[in-house]
Chain A
Amino acid sequence: MKPAPTISSAFLEPGGHSLPEPLLELRKQRGTALVDMPLPTRKTENWKYSSRHLKLTDELATTLPATGKDGYSLSIPGYRVVFHNGVMIPEASDFPDLDGIRIQRFADLDDDEAAALAERLDNTLDTRAVQMARLNSARFEDGLYIQLDKEAVLDQPLFIVHEVTGTASGSAYPRIYVDAARHSQITVVEEYLSSGEEPVMVDTVTEFVLADGAQVTNVRLVMEGENVQHIGATGVRQAANSRFESHCVGFGGPLRRHDLQVRLEGEGGECKLNGVVVTQGKQHYDNHTSIEHVAAHCDSEETYRNIAADESHAVFNGRIHIHEDAQKSNANMNNKNLLLSTGAEIDTKPELEIYADDVKCAHGATIGQLDRISLFYLVSRGIGRREANTLLTMAFINELVEQIPVQAVKDAAQLRLNEFFDQTFQEA
C-alpha cells in the first residue's frame, strides 16, 4: 500500500513576522506536532469530496508578504480592521478605544497577555476534525485578539477584512480570537477578498468563547477569486444562556472549505447557523458543521442553502451530537439544495448522534431544480427568462439573505449574486 501523503516540510517554515515570545513558542510546538501529518485523502471521511481539490504545492508554502497595499479602498460603515496576507495593517484599520473592549493585534500583545492567549488558542476546536486549522496554528503571522469585559457592548459591527494578494504564489494564515465575557455583545463581520492571479491559499481560524449570557453574531462573506483555495475553521464555545448567530455567505472557487464547530456547554444556550453557498463553473464548496449539545436545555437552529450551477459541486455535512446529559435539547437542521444545471452536483449528509432520550431533533435535506410550472407562470406575465429564473433562485435564499443583520454585507452579497445570475441565466 502506498503510504498516505504527508504535509511537505516546506509548510512547516513560518515567515518572519514578529510576534511576542509565548506565541512564537506555541507556534513552534504546533509545528513540531505537524511533522509527518497525513494530508486528507479521498479515504479521509470528512474530506472525501474535497481532498482532490486541496493542492498544497511547495510554492504555496511561502508566506505571502504583507505590504498593506490593498484593502484600503473599502468603504465600510462601522469599525474596521484590515488584514493583508494574514497580517493586520494598522494604517488601514479604524476602530475606537472603548471602555471594556480591547481589540489588539497579536503583534502588540505584551508577554503576559500573549501567554494567556497562547494557553487558549485552539481550545474551541476539535483539531482532529479540522486538520488544516492545525496548520494555521503552526503558521499564523499575526492575529486579532478581541476581549469584551462583562456587559460591554460594541455599538456597531466590527468588520475584519481579510485581503490576500496573489501577485506571487504563497499562503496566509489569519487568526482571530474573541473572548466575550458575561452579557457582553458583539457583531463580527469577516470579509474574505483577494486580488492578483497566482495561486494562493488562505488558511484561517476564528474562535469565539461566550461566557454566560453573552451574545455574539458572526457574519462571514467569502468572495475570493478563482486563484484562491480558502480553508477556514470557526470554533465556538457557549456558556449558559449565551446566544451565537452565524450568517455565512460564500461564493465558490477552486476550493472553499469551512468547518464550523459549536459547543453548547451551558444550559439555556442558543445558536443559529445560517448559510448560503453559490457555485458555478467548476467550483467546489464544502461546508462541514458540527453542533454539540453538551448541556441540557439548549436550542440549535441550522439552515443552509446551496445553489450549484454549471459543473460545480457543493457539499454540506451537518453533524448534531446530543450528549447523554443534554436532556430537553432542541435541535433543528435544514439543508435545501438547488441544482441549476444537469452537470452540477450537490452532496448533503446529516449526521445525528443522539444519546439523550428527552430531546427534539428535526432534520431535513432536499435537492431539487427550479420549478418549471412556476417559471411558466412568471414568463406568461411577460417577465423575461433571466429575470424569472433570478426571481425563483432568489426566492430560494431570500429568507436567509434577509436575516443577515448587516446591511453592507447584504448589499455586497446581492451585487455578487446579481453577477452570478447574469452569468448563469440567459434569455430564451
Chain B
Amino acid sequence: MLSIKNLHASVEGEEILKGINLEIKAGEVHAIMGPNGSGKSTLSQVLAGNETFEVTQGEISLNGENLLDLETEERAREGIFLAFQYPVEIPGVSNLQFLRTAVNAMRTHRGEPEMNAAEFMKLAKEVSKQVDLDPAFLKRGVNEGFSGGEKKRNEILQALLLQPKLAILDETDSGLDIDALQVVSKGVNALRAEDRAILMVTHYQRLLNHIVPDHVHVLAGGRIVKSGGRELALELEERGYGWLGVKDEEATPSAAS
C-alpha cells in the first residue's frame, strides 16, 4: 500500500530524514518508536504533505501513485490521514462545521452526495460516543480549549469519520489517562481492516498491548535503525535505545503530549 524509498527531507536547510525505507501492506499495523527529535513527526508530516519540510530525495507511493505529486488535500482524499501529535486549535470554526466540511469534501471526491446538516449531526453524535467525547464538543471551536486527551480523542473521531486507507497516528497515546487509552485503542482497533493500514508513532509499549502491531521500527537520527516484530517493543522497553547505538538519555518518553 505505502512504499517509502530512500526518503530524505530537510527543514530550513537542515536534513532531518536521512534515507527512510519502509513498506507497509494493506491490513498491517506498523509502530515507529525512537528517541525525541529523531524525525518521527517529520516523517508523519511529510507523508501528509506539510510544505514546511522539503523532500530532497527519494520516493513515496500510495498504491502505486506518486504521493509527492499530490497536494495535501489530494493526499487526504486518496486516503492519507494524520492524527497530529499537537492537534491545532481553530477558534471561530466550529468542530461540527469542520468535520462536516471534511466528510463532504471526501464524499464529493468519491462522487457521493453531500450529507446535510441533520444527517451529519446524527453520524457525528454516534461516532462521538464511540470515542467517549461528549457531543457538546461538536459545538465548540475546533480543538478550542480541549484538554490534551480530548484533542487526541477528537483526532480519532476524525479518523473514524473519514475512514482513511492509511492512518498515521503521531503519539495519539501520549497524555492519555488509562481510561482514555482504552477508548482510543478501541477506536484504533475499530479502524483495523484488511484494506487499511495503520502507522503508529509511540513512545510507549503499553499502547502496543492494546493495538498489537505486525511490525515495529526504531527511527533514530533520521534513519530506521532496526525493525522487528512485536517483541522488539518489549525489548526496547527493557533496554532503551542504547544497545542500538542510539543515545540512551534521549530515549525517555517525552513529557509533552
Interface residues of A, Cβ cutoff 8 Å to B? 373-374, 376-385, 387-388, 391-392, 394-396, 398-399, 428
Contacts and interface: CB of A to CB of B under 8 A. Distances in A.
A356 to B, nearest CB: 34
A383 B93 contact: no
Contacts of B50: 376, 380
B73 A383 contact: yes
A381 B162 contact: yes
B71 A428 contact: yes
Given A379-B72, A381-B76, A384-B73, A395 B90 contact: yes
8 contacts: A377-B90, A377-B142, A380-B73, A381-B76, A382-B106, A391-B97, A392-B92, A392-B93
A381 B102 contact: yes
A126 to B, nearest CB: 36
B76 A384 contact: no
Contacts of B93: 391-392, 394-395
Contacts of A428: 71, 73
B36 to A, nearest CB: 21
B158 interface: yes
B105 A382 contact: yes
A382 B77 contact: yes
Contacts of A385: 71, 73
Nearest to B79: A382
Interface of B: 48-51, 71-73, 75-77, 81-82, 84, 87-88, 90-93, 97-98, 101-102, 105-106, 109, 141-142, 158, 162
A114 B111 CA distance: 66
A384 B105 contact: yes
Given A376-B72, A381-B158, A383-B102, A394 B77 contact: no
Contacts of B109: 382
Given A391-B101, A392-B90, A395-B93, A382 B84 contact: no
A382 B97 contact: no
B92 A380 contact: no
Given A379-B73, A382-B102, 18 more contacts: A373-B88, A374-B88, A376-B50, A376-B51, A376-B88, A377-B88, A380-B50, A381-B81, A382-B77, A382-B105, A383-B105, A384-B105, A391-B93, A391-B98, A392-B90, A392-B93, A395-B92, A395-B93
Contacts of B141: 395
B24 to A, nearest CB: 19
A398 B225 CA distance: 49
Given A391-B97, A428-B71, A382 B162 contact: yes
A383 B101 contact: yes
Given A391-B98, A395-B93, A380 B82 contact: yes
A382 B77 CA distance: 5
Contacts of A376: 48, 50-51, 72, 88
B120 to A, nearest CB: 14
Given A387-B101, A391-B101, A428-B71, A380 B90 contact: no
Contact of A382 (B51, B73, B142): B73
